[in-house]
């Protein structure tokens, strides 16, 4: 490795240590911190963020980065090295524009807001969370202005999660998606086919849930010797290092498949991406995921395209029946397959089926854009939310806990994150289509899981941030991002289930 880049890598690795600490603090905050410990945790997280920011924008770091950039500009670096310098530079330029005090305030506000969001959701009382959200929205607007005063503020924030994508481009895709989805959902809802999923209510014994979930994750390829599974109300994934990936699950007696198993497969899809990143580049952009959209394609691919497929359940259903005979006696594979793919407009995004899911995302995108661009105030937010729910799904929100308070993202300052969920679904369809084109022959299920993970390792994980999301999709699938594959997938699958 070029010595200037090696020096940069060493500096980045130091920063990465603080990044890993932040990941652990965040994971632990949701898994272990006791009630009274949240204020101390908020201060601790804010301090570490501040330390990270100060080290990143320090003149010492800038000197090392500048030296590497000079060599890059002279054409003296290979592709991997260019990736490291280019992406670091891009982050550096942004971060440099944020004063330390601003970063401190934003981190502390968000770290504190989390606990108030938890309480507000628990009590379904938006007013507990509103003052924090107001402050966060103001700070995020300010962040956008500081980073790029001449660009639309929402686009500036979006760039943190899906680098290179403008909100105009996202909107174009979403409009097309909506044009397909709204009538498609209506067709399903109005179809005469009834899918019975009442047996999914269990009761499912918790201990067996844990055992079955672990077994499934092992078989699809999530390495549990390089991963740990905790419990939290909202499942998520954090990476400390490719050898230490943290996911969380939740156990409910009356819903194993959706609340536990599918979300565990989802999170382990994120986890397998992180486990597959090139460890020799750990801490540098060459060892980092492309974007959140690409991340989400991994999780949705495993959750939906695999975890809700016939193939998957042809393989696992007999075992599931052995584990849970008290729940599944008399239930056929076909009824089970239909039940877990039942389409039903509902209030909660994370419980949504794969047809209605994107509509949840699209309306969040519209709402958060309005918030950041000043067309919507925090006090009007619950009303706006409930109106959208009525418009898109024709259902009424019974309480804010099931409406505007359901998602954690805004409490953590993550505006511009939601669109990546819908993008992930589209990417997943398109990449999966390419993967299937490379399928050597008909494989047994275990071989197929192995093939798919291998294909992802080769074509996506091992690349780190070498290419942008747009470049990667072009290189691997031969086309730009398209709604086509996703639409085709849904039409094929659900016209069969609902006979439409």
| Residues taking part in catalysis | 267
Round to whole Å and give the CA distance between 479 and 476: 8
Query: Would you say 266 and 302 are in contact if contact means Cβ atoms under 8 Å apart?
Result: yes
Round to whole Å and give the CA distance between 317 and 212: 11
Round to whole Å and give the CA distance between 304 and 121: 28
Nearer residue to its own copies within complex by CB, 18 or 408 = 18
- Backbone torsion region of residue 342, taken as left when φ is above 0, otherwise alpha when ψ lies between -120 and 50, otherwise beta: beta
Nearer residue to its own copies within complex by CB, 194 or 225 = 225
Nearer residue to its own copies within complex by CB, 47 or 399 = 47
CB of 41 to its own copies, least distance (A): 7
Round to whole Å and give the CA distance between 456 and 445: 16
**239: which strand partners?**
245
Buried b (16+ CB within 10 A) or exposed e, 94-127: beeebeeeebbbbbbbbbbbbbbbbebbeeeebe
Token output for 189 = 């809802």
Interface stretch with its own copies, choices 221-229, 356-364, 429-437, 458-466 (CB under 8 A): 221-229
Residues of span 40-99 touching its own copies by CB under 8 A: 40-41, 43-44, 47-48
Interaction pattern, residues 8-37, with its own copies; x per rule: CB under 8 A = ------x--x--xx--xx--x---xxxxxx
Residues of span 229-258 touching its own copies by CB under 8 A: 230, 240-241, 243-244, 246
Nearer residue to its own copies within complex by CB, 114 or 364 = 114
- Beta-carbon count within 10 A of 498 CB: 22
Interface stretch with its own copies, choices 134-142, 226-234, 286-294, 454-462 (CB under 8 A): 226-234
CB of 108 to its own copies, least distance (A): 12
Interface stretch with its own copies, choices 117-125, 222-230, 252-260, 290-298 (CB under 8 A): 222-230
Our separate counts of H helices and E strands in the chain read: 20, 3
Nearer residue to its own copies within complex by CB, 37 or 76 = 37
223 binds its own copies (CB under 8 A): yes
Q: How many residues bind its own copies (CB under 8 A)?
A: 32
Binding stretches for its own copies (CB under 8 A): 14, 17, 20-21, 24-25, 28, 32-37, 39-41, 43-44, 47-48, 223-228, 230, 240-241, 243-244, 246
């Amino acid at each position: 490795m070029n010595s200037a880049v090696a020096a940069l890598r060493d500096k980045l690795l130091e920063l990465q240590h603080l990044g890993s600490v932040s990941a652990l603090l965040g994971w632990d905050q949701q898994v272990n911190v006791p009630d009274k410990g949240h204020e101390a945790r908020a201060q601790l997280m804010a301090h570490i963020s501040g330390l990270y920011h100060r080290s990143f924008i320090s003149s010492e770091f800038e000197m090392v980065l500048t030296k590497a950039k000079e060599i890059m500009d002279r054409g003296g670096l290979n592709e991997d090295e260019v990736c490291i310098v280019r992406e670091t530079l891009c982050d550096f330029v942004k971060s440099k524009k944020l004063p330390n005090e601003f970063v401190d305030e934003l981190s502390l506000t968000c770290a504190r807001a989390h606990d108030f969001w938890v309480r507000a959701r628990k009590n379904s009382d938006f007013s507990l969370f509103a003052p924090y959200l107001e402050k966060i929205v103001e700070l995020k607007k300010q962040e956008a202005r500081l980073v790029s005063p001449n660009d639309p503020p929402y686009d500036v924030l979006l760039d943190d999660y899906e680098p290179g994508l403008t909100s105009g481009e996202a909107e174009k895709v979403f409009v097309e998606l909506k044009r397909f989805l709204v009538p498609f959902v209506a067709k399903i809802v109005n179809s005469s086919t009834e899918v019975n999923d009442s047996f999914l209510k269990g009761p499912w014994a918790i201990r067996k849930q844990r055992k079955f979930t672990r077994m499934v994750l092992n078989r699809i390829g999530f390495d549990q010797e390089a991963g740990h599974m905790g419990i939290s109300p909202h499942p998520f994934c954090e990476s400390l290092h490719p050898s230490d990936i943290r996911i969380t699950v939740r156990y409910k007696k009356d819903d194993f498949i959706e609340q536990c198993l599918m979300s565990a497969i989802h999170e382990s899809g994120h986890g397998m991406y992180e486990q597959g990143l090139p460890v020799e580049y750990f801490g540098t952009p060459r060892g980092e995921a492309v974007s959140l959209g690409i991340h989400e394609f991994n999780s949705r691919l495993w959750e939906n395209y695999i975890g809700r497929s016939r193939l998957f359940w042809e393989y696992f259903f007999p075992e599931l029946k052995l584990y849970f005979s008290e729940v599944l006696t008399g239930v056929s594979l076909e009824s089970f397959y239909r039940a877990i793919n039942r389409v039903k407009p509902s209030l909660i995004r994370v419980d949504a089926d794969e047809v209605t899911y994107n509509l949840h995302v699209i309306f969040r995108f519209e709402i958060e854009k309005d918030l950041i661009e000043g067309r919507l105030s925090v006090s009007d937010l619950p009303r706006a939310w409930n109106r959208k729910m009525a418009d898109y799904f024709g259902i009424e929100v019974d309480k804010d806990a099931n409406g505007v308070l359901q998602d954690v993202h805004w409490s953590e300052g993550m505006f511009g994150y939601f669109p990546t969920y819908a993008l992930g679904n589209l990417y997943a369809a398109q990449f999966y289509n390419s993967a299937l084109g490379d399928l050597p022959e008909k494989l047994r299920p275990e071989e197929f899981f192995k093939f798919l993970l291998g294909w992802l390792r080769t074509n996506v994980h091992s690349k780190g941030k070498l290419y942008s999301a747009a470049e990667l999709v072009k290189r691997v699938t031969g086309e730009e991002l398209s709604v086509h594959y996703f639409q085709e997938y849904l039409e094929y699958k659900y016209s069969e289930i609902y006979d439409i």
